[in-house]
Amino acid sequence: MKVAVVGATGLVGSKMLQVLAERNFPVTELIPVASEKSVGKEVEFKGKKYKVVSMADGIAAKPAVAIFSAGGGTSLEWAPKFAEAGIKVIDNSSAWRMDPTKKLVVPEVNADALTAEDYIIANPNCSTIQMVVALQPLHAKYKIKRVVVSTYQSVTGTGKKAVDQLFNERKGIEGEMAYKYPIDLNVIPQIDVFLDNGYTKEEMKMVKETCKIMKDDSIKVTATTVRIPVVGGHSESVNIEFENEFDLNEVKALLAAAPGVVVQNDDAAQLYPMPLWAHEKDEVFVGRLRRDETQPKTLNMWIVSDNLRKGAATNAVQIAEYLLSKGLL
């Protein structure tokens, strides 16, 4: 099977190549695609070097699927051209997520929504993906009314420039700034631009995407998204109010049985999810499970996942795996 990775030289694109190899996706020919300035560069996949090609050459190569991680503008321009050529597109940008004609997919939650007619499939925002994987089994059992989420997000979510800024600051080296402020020994309560309502674009992504993925507009979500000086993954403090009463032991059992979820919840052993442990893993880790003692039918939990893997590359590859398993590729 011919597989194109669009944006193959970027941070997420490189991770997509790694995940495709690790999960043994049946790639017979890899077509790395990137912007004109990267054409001719080489990427490595399963020990073999491949030359990066242009967008037009990527289409001409007729891959079965193209996994995009090249930014919203690139995706808006090129994803329809790939789709018109009969190539399935799985897009990691925000370009198509809220388009009512496109599916927004987290395989553990709503892969069954995909059909043969879906040629552009949107990969959700990283912070939304890990949250809905943990919310879905609880919503099915107790029905979620409201979610209050605060995120603690890795600099890798911004890209290589931000990782370089963090480590330059740590070494006392002056360098290019991805953020307006220093990130080392700091916390920045802004991810993406501010909107007219005072929330950031990242916060509103979590609000809108959660309802779309979980197919329930009645779920109320409010978010505060924060950048912190870590690299291993995103963390989230999540407060969930249910319509129905829950049993804490049953909650733990539901989460432990849920696809893609690992429960790390042992107070006595001081076991809880951390980016240090989530790094380079595909699962969503859940812990610190406890009742909110200020109001009924409300649960607190802590969710951590590697944002470059499950939050981006792995989720996209899992969508491709699902399409393949259903004969849609």
How many other CB atoms are there within 10 angstroms of residue 197's CB atom? 8
pLDDT at residue 11, rounded to an integer: 87
- The answer for residues whose C-beta is within 8 angstroms of residue 251's C-beta and 6 or more apart is 138, 289, 299
The number of residues making up the chain comes to: 329
Sorted by where each begins, the domain ranges of the chain are 2-124+312-325, 127-307
Contacts from 285-291 at CB under 8 Å and sequence distance 24+? Answer: 285/261, 286/134, 286/255, 286/261, 286/262, 287/263, 289/248, 289/251, 289/252, 289/255, 289/263, 289/265, 290/248, 291/248
Domain 127-307 has CATH 3.30.360.10: yes
pTM score of the predicted model = 0.96
> Can you give 235-288 as a three-state secondary structure string?
EEEEEEEECCCCCHHHHHHHHHHCCCEEECCECCCCECCCHHHHCCCCCEEEEE
Structural tokens at position 229: 């000086």
Residue-by-residue DSSP string for 292-327 = -TTSTTEEEEEEEE-TTIIIIIHHHHHHHHHHHHTT
Tell me the per-residue pLDDT of 253-295, one tens digit each, with 9 for 90 and over.
Answer: 999 999 999 999 999 999 999 999 999 999 999 999 999 999 9
The domain defined by 2-124+312-325 folds into: Rossmann fold (3.40.50)
- The identity of residue 78, as a single letter, is W
Active site positions, annotated: 126, 234
C-alpha–C-alpha distance, residues 250 and 88, integer Å: 40
Tell me the per-residue pLDDT of 145-193, one tens digit each, with 9 for 90 and over.
Answer: 999 999 999 999 999 999 999 999 999 999 999 999 999 999 999 999 9
